[in-house]
A = this chain, B = another copy of it.
Amino acid sequence: MNVEGHNAVATDTAGLEVLAREECLRLLSQAPIGRIVFTDQALPAVQPVNFAMLGTDIIIRTSPGSKLAQATQDTVVAFEVDDYDVTERTGWSVMVIGLGRAVDDPAERAVLEALPLNPWAPGSRSHYIRIVTDIVTGRRIPTRR
């Protein structure tokens, strides 16, 4: 990684621009869909979900008996958002690593229930998962011009 100056853009060993944490959090807050990465029966698994943010944490609603609810309980998970432009062949991605946990405390639930978070998928989505954000990283493909 290059040294990051006031105007310099840091790049990683793959030549991608390294995004600052504040930029990553801004991009996260604007993304309609993210992908939660977890382990399902010892295999890697990934599932798109809509979500909301509470501070820097990621909030997801799912059904209480879902695979997602089970597999993310008290487990370190990844959460990813990205966007890309096929014509320009560019894009960015942001990844969060954090501890997933169920939200059972009534006071905490009340806060989450006030968020603008209506699941796209059908059925009861009364189970809240909170990913307590620890590491936030982001990369962008530099524009060629």
Contacts and interface: CB of A to CB of B under 8 A. Distances in A.
Nearest to A66: B14
Contacts of A13: 63, 65-66
State how many copies of this chain the complex holds. 2
Contacts of A141: 120-122
Contact of A78 (B15, B43, B82, B91): B43
A129 B48 CA distance: 24
21 contacts: A15-B122, A16-B121, A32-B84, A32-B86, A33-B82, A33-B84, A33-B86, A35-B35, A37-B37, A38-B44, A43-B78, A43-B135, A44-B97, A45-B95, A46-B46, A46-B80, A48-B82, A48-B93, A84-B120, A90-B120, A120-B141
